[in-house]
Amino acid sequence: MISCVSDDSILIRLGESIDPDLTARIAALCIAIESQHSAWVTDVVPSYTTVLVSYDPSMIDFRRARQALVPLLHSSTEAGTVAPARSGTVHEIPVYYAPESGPDLQNLAYNKSLSVAKVIQYHTAVTYQVFAIGFLPGFGFLGSVAEAIATPRRQSPRKQVPAGSVGIANQQTAIYPKASPGGWQLIGRSPVTMFDVDGLSRLKVGDGVRFHAVSRSEYLNLGGTL
Amino acid sequence: MKLLRVIAPGPRTTVQDSGRRHFQKHGLAEGGAADRHAFLWANKLLDNDLNAACLEITLGGFEAEALAHVSIALTGADTRPRINGIAVAMWQTLQLTPGDRLSMTSAASGRYCYLAIRGGLQAPTLFGSATVVVREQFDELRPLARGDTLTGFDTSPAKPARMPVADRPIYGAPLKLRLIPGYQYSQFSQTDRARFLSSEYRVSTQSDRMGFKLEGAALQDPPPGIVSEGIALGSVQVPGDGDPIVLLKDRQTIGGYPKLGTLCALDCYRLAQAQPGQAVGFEVSDIATTQNERMLFESMFRNTHWNKCGDGLAW
């Protein structure tokens, strides 16, 4: 479904609910839009089920912009024209899981009647998919977290979550690219830079992410701070 | 070359241009001048590149000393500017000579005052733009501080120009803003839609470059949260408390609150100039109308030149 939602943008809706297969299509559609219509497209914002396409209304009006997007949407729905799920890069992200780096780790384990080791095992067992980027530059919404460790946001958000913090909110997990207020339940910290001004966001929608546990000294050797 | 030294930055002064393109997929805000109307006029008065970096002075209180001969223009919020204590007009070119002191009071009407410098400000750029989005906390992009020196490229005097008085906006007047229904509009109850379109709202003190909160007729039964999706400029989102929030230039790129639709861009620029307490109402419009108007607006700046007297534009 394609709808003109403002006087310089069009929302393409590809589905109604979160679905990993949709994300691969969305990522491919974004690439097609940006490469074929670079003359007038000014921004492309993929999310779980949608792509918001902004354009320069001095270059093209809403009718022609909409018309130009229709064939791309159709070709992205035809079987075999898009890459399979998780065609993107899979990022290996080291995480130091401990109470000193993840202040909610023990509480989460306790509330879920699990050992801390088991929580870590669940968190590292899955290749997550990047569903969306937002909230902060380079902040990727990753899913889906195993039901066994899925946990709602904290009742009151923290005023300052340290950069690199790895958190869980319901069935999503994420790495905070920089220090910020935040309400996710923190279970560890990663030394990996998620955003920098030259390389931009490390994660792209459609990429895969796998976490692995590292020790305190490995974390510090990799440039992590406590 | 050094042009101005900041004596007082006021509550918040940032460098702004037209904002970023192609970086929202990285989670970076669009940014850019909150009121593109006043921003473009400031550059137009000086015959600058229309995307030239300017200062966006929030609520006035700015003070600076000229370090060179420099032509400037002040547009937007009425900050009662003075040069060496003598009142000067806004919406026209002004000439500063070394040692001159430019000062402002707090804004009598409007919120954002634009100070353009002939030839544009020399400012750090990231992501293809000089826009400063304060909440993103990049070291290179910070609000101005006392003692900062502003540099530029050009000290040749600008040809005198002034905007026709009849064209100047009156910011304090009640606003009727045009909504393009869309996004989750049909998921709001009929009562809430009618309530939104027929009520008078007041601009809340909780308003900034990210979004303007409106108070007065909270919606009774907004739909539940949605799967997060891209947020267009002017989106009217309604969180659970029912108070609508109009999202502006520094908005987050995606969000999960239901939205009634979007305000047309030209009305977003007007809303950005509204002070807390100002009355705001809404009416339904359509993209065909608002996009035409917007194309005319952009084209007027690009395709006109100043007449010989500098008091009007000719196509």
B53-62 in b/e burial notation, b at 16+ Cβ within 10 A?
bbbbbbbbbb
What chain B residue is nearest to A19 in terms of C-alpha separation? B227
Instruction: Report CA torsion sign: A166, A169, A174, A175.
Output: negative
Which of A27, A50, A77 lies at the terminal end of a domain, its last residue? A77
Residue spans of chain B under pLDDT 50: none
Instruction: Tell me the C-alpha distance between A185 and A167, whole Å.
Output: 5
Inter-chain touch A7–B254, beta carbons under 8 Å: no
pLDDT at A81 over 90: no
**Cα distance between residue A177 and residue A195, in whole Å:** 6
Print the domain residue range for A163: 90-221
Q: What's the domain count of chain A?
A: 2
The torsion of the CA quartet B229, B232, B235, B238, rounded to 10 degrees, works out to 10
Residues B241 and B144 in one domain: no
Side-by-side strand order, sheet with A2-6: A2-6, A9-13, A50-55, A41-46
Closest-CA distance of chain A to residue B266, Å: 10
B274 inside domain: yes
Q: Report CA-CA distances (Å) from A140 to A61, A100, B156, B163.
A: 32, 23, 48, 46
Asked whether residue B246 is domain-assigned, the answer is yes
Sequence letter at residue B63? E
Instruction: Give pLDDT, residue A74.
Output: 86
Q: B56 to chain A, minimum CA–CA distance in Å?
A: 23
Q: Are residues B13 and B114 in the same domain?
A: yes
Q: Which of A50, A58, A178 is nearest residue B298 as measured by Cβ atoms?
A: A58
Partner B, chain A 201-220, Cβ-Cβ below 8 Å: 201, 204-205
Asked if A72 and A131 sit in the same domain, the reply is no
Q: Is the Cα torsion angle A106, A112, A116, A122 positive or negative in sign?
A: negative
| Same domain membership, residue B235 and residue B201 | yes
B119 with B208, same domain: the answer is no
Q: Does A193 touch chain B if contact means CB atoms closer than 8 Å?
A: no
Task: Give the pLDDT confidence score for residue A157 in this predicted structure.
Answer: 84
Tally of domains within chain B: 2
Residue B301 lies in a domain: no
Domain, as residue range, for B152 = 2-160
Q: Identify the CATH number of the domain in which residue A202 sits.
A: 2.40.100.10
pLDDT of A88 reads 75
- Residues A155, A127 share a domain: yes
Give me the pLDDT at residue A155, please: 82
Same domain, A209 and A121: yes
Same domain, A145 and A178: yes
**Nearest neighbour of B287 by CB, restricted to A62, A141, A195:** A62
Q: Report yes or no: A52 at the B interface, CB cutoff 8 Å.
A: yes
Residue B166 counted as domain residue: no
In chain B, residues with a C-beta closer than 8 Å to the C-beta of A42 are 21-22
Q: What angle do CA A15, A67, B246 make, to 5 degrees?
A: 60
Substitution target in A2, A5, A63 with the highest count of B β-carbons within 10 Å is: A5
Cβ atoms B18, B114 nearer than 8 A: no
What's the pLDDT score for residue B36?
A: 98
Locate the chain B residue with the closest alpha carbon to A205.
Answer: B25
Predicted pLDDT of residue B304: 97
The alpha carbon of residue A10 is apart from the nearest alpha carbon of chain B, in Å, by: 9
- Using CB atoms, pick whichever of B127, B136, B229 lies closest to residue A52: B229
Of A23, A42, A77, the last residue of a domain is A77
CA-to-CA separations, B103 to A14, B5, B63, B67, in angstroms, rounded:
53, 12, 4, 15
Are B153 and B245 members of one domain?
Answer: no
In a domain, A184, yes or no: yes
Q: Which residues in chain B are closer than 8 Å to A197, comparing Cβ atoms?
A: 126-127, 138, 140
Q: Which of B27, B180, B228 sits opposite A137 (nearest CB)?
A: B27
Q: Is the dihedral of CA A181, A182, A183, A185 positive or negative?
A: negative
Does A5 contact B at CB distance below 8 Å? yes
- Asked if residue B290 belongs to a domain, the reply is no
Kindly determine whether residue A43 and residue B24, on different chains, have CB atoms separated by under 8 Å. yes
> Are residue A108 and residue A195 in the same domain, yes or no?
yes
Residues A73 and A131 in one domain: no
Please write down the HEC assignment for all residues of chain A.
CEEEEECCEEEEECCCCCCHHHHHHHHHHHHHHHHHCCCCEEEEEECCCEEEEEECCCCCCHHHHHHHHHHHHHHHHCCCCCCCCCCCCEEEEEEECCCCCCCCHHHHHHHCCCCHHHHHHHHHCCCEEEEEECCCCCCEEEECCCHHHCECCCCCCEEEECCCEEEEEECEEEECCCCEEECCEEEEECCCCCEECCCEECCCCCCEEEEEECCHHHHHHCCCCC
Minimal Cβ distance to A45: which of B136, B182, B230: B230
Is B180 in contact with A6 (Cβ distance < 8 A)?
A: yes
A with B: how many residue pairs have Cβ under 8 Å apart? 139
Q: What's the pLDDT tens digit per position in A84-132?
A: 444 679 999 999 999 999 999 999 999 999 999 999 999 999 999 999 9
Residues B196, B136 share a domain: no
Specify whether A141 is located in the same domain as A189: yes
Q: Do B119 and B7 have their domain in common?
A: yes
Interface predicted TM-score of the whole assembly (ipTM), two decimals: 0.95
Residue B187 contacts A where some CB pair is shorter than 8 Å: no
* Number of residues in chain B: 315
Chain A residues whose beta carbon lies within 8 Å of the beta carbon of residue B138: 197
Is B299's Cβ below 8 Å from some Cβ in A? yes
Kindly tell me if the per-residue pLDDT of A48 is higher than 50: yes
Q: Which of A48, A138, A178 sits opposite B137 (nearest CB)?
A: A178
- Which of A3, A4, A7 to probe the B interface (max B CBs under 10 A)? A7
CB count in 10 Å sphere of residue A203: 28
Give the separation between CA A1 and CA A8, rounded to whole angstroms.
17
What CATH number has the domain bearing residue A14?
Answer: 3.30.1360.40
My answer on whether A136 and A47 are in the same domain is no
User: Is A32 contained in some domain?
Assistant: yes
Query: What rounded mean pLDDT belongs to chain A?
Result: 92
Residue A40 lies in a domain: yes
- Give residue A75's pLDDT band: very low, low, confident or very high (50, 70, 90): confident
| Same domain membership, residue B126 and residue B66 | yes
**Residue B60 maps to a domain:** yes
Q: Judge if A110 and A211 occupy the same domain.
A: yes
Nearest residue in B to A52, CA atom: B230
Q: Of A56, A77, A98, which residue is a domain's last?
A: A77
Is the CB of B295 less than 8 angstroms away from the CB of A62? no
The answer to whether residue A173 scores a pLDDT higher than 90 is yes
Which of the four pLDDT bands, split at 50, 70 and 90, describes residue A76?
Answer: confident
Token pair belonging to B103:
């000062």
A137/B136 Cβ within 8 A: yes
pLDDT at A80: 47
| Predicted local distance difference test score (pLDDT) of residue B295 | 96
One domain, residues A125 and A173: yes
* CATH number of the domain where residue B280 is located: 2.40.100.10
Within a domain: residue B142?
A: yes
Taking CB atoms and an 8 Å cutoff, what residues of chain A touch B261?
5
Residues of A in contact with B297 (CB under 8 A): none
Q: Is the CB of residue A145 less than 8 Å from the CB of residue A176?
A: no
The closest alpha carbon to B248, from B289, B299, B206, B193, belongs to B206
Q: What is the largest CA-CA distance in chain A?
A: 59
A27 domain residue, yes or no: yes
Residue B68 counted as domain residue: yes
CB proximity A172 to B under 8 Å? no
